[in-house]
């Protein structure tokens, strides 16, 4: 959950229509109209990345919202078993945050997708994911979409690349090979722990962090 008191605001006279802000926006809040960037306040999550990106023209600034807005998707009205099943498939825990910044949990992420998020941008706009560092939760987002059976089409501008590689994806043979050459990584031990994630208790599952 995130609380929003600000929204990005474009000073049109400064905007050159370069589109750099559009491609960096994690929540799909920026569209170009008549060669000017337009902000959709209903999608903006105040990550300030567009402001940072517009470093030549400084055409974007933070403006106060009339009142605080909360971005959160309630999971209470979604079938708990369905959430659990999808989280199992994604290799995440329903109650564990998939993002250290917004603390958006696995079950909220699943609920947002079941309630209509079709793209990572939709998901970020609904939950506030990627409003903080914007980096570390990315592959978790892809994994949850995959577990929900939603095929993501990578954008042509490479604003994100669907990468889901996980230790659990490695074969037992590969893990054994790496373990033999580089025992200091304890790859096999971590691999076994991740592999049994779906059946162990929440405490054990979270303890690998």
The contact set with other proteins (CB under 8 A) reads 1-3, 5-6, 24, 45-47, 49, 52-53, 55, 62, 93, 95-98, 100-103, 105, 128, 131-140, 158-161, 163, 165-170, 174, 178, 182-187, 189-191, 193-194, 202, 206-209
Instruction: Give the span between the Cα atoms of 128 and 45, in whole angstroms.
Output: 6
Alpha-helical regions (H) of 54-164: 80-90, 106-114, 120-127, 138-147
For residue 176, give the H/E element and its range.
Answer: helix 172-181
Q: Which is nearer to other proteins, 81 or 161 (CB)?
A: 161
Name the residue among 85, 86, 160 with its Cα closest to residue 119.
160
Buried-exposed string 122-147: b where 16+ CB fall within 10 A, e elsewhere: bbbbbbbbbbbebeebbebbbbbbbb
CB of 208 to other proteins, least distance (A): 5
CB of 126 to other proteins, least distance (A): 15
For residue 7, give the H/E element and its range.
Answer: strand 2-10
Q: Which is nearer to other proteins, 7 or 33 (CB)?
A: 7
Q: Which is nearer to other proteins, 33 or 121 (CB)?
A: 121
CB of 116 to other proteins, least distance (A): 23
Residue in this structure with the two tokens 């971005």, named with its chain if needed: 71
CB of 156 to other proteins, least distance (A): 13
CB of 33 to other proteins, least distance (A): 23
Q: Which is nearer to other proteins, 33 or 199 (CB)?
A: 199
37 pairs with which residues across the strands?
32
Q: Which is nearer to other proteins, 101 or 117 (CB)?
A: 101
């Amino acid at each position: 959950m995130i609380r929003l008191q600000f929204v990005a605001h474009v000073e049109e006279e400064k905007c050159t229509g370069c589109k750099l802000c559009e491609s960096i926006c994690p929540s799909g809040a920026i569209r170009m109209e008549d060669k000017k960037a337009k902000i959709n306040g209903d999608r903006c999550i105040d990550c300030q990345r567009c402001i940072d990106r517009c470093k030549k023209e400084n055409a974007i600034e933070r403006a106060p919202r009339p009142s605080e807005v909360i971005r959160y998707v309630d999971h209470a009205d979604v079938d708990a078993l369905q959430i659990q099943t999808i989280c199992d498939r994604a290799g995440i825990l329903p109650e564990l945050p998939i993002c250290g910044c917004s603390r958006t949990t696995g079950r909220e992420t699943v609920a947002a997708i079941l309630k209509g998020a079709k793209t990572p941008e939709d998901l970020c706009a609904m939950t506030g994911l990627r409003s903080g560092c914007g980096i570390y939760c990315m592959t978790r987002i892809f994994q949850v979409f995959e577990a929900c059976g939603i095929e993501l089409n990578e954008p042509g501008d490479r604003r994100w690349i669907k990468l889901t590689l996980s230790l659990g994806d490695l074969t037992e043979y590969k893990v054994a090979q790496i373990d033999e050459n580089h025992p200091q990584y304890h790859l096999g031990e971590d691999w076994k722990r991740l592999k049994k994630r779906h059946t162990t208790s929440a405490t054990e599952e979270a303890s690998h962090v």
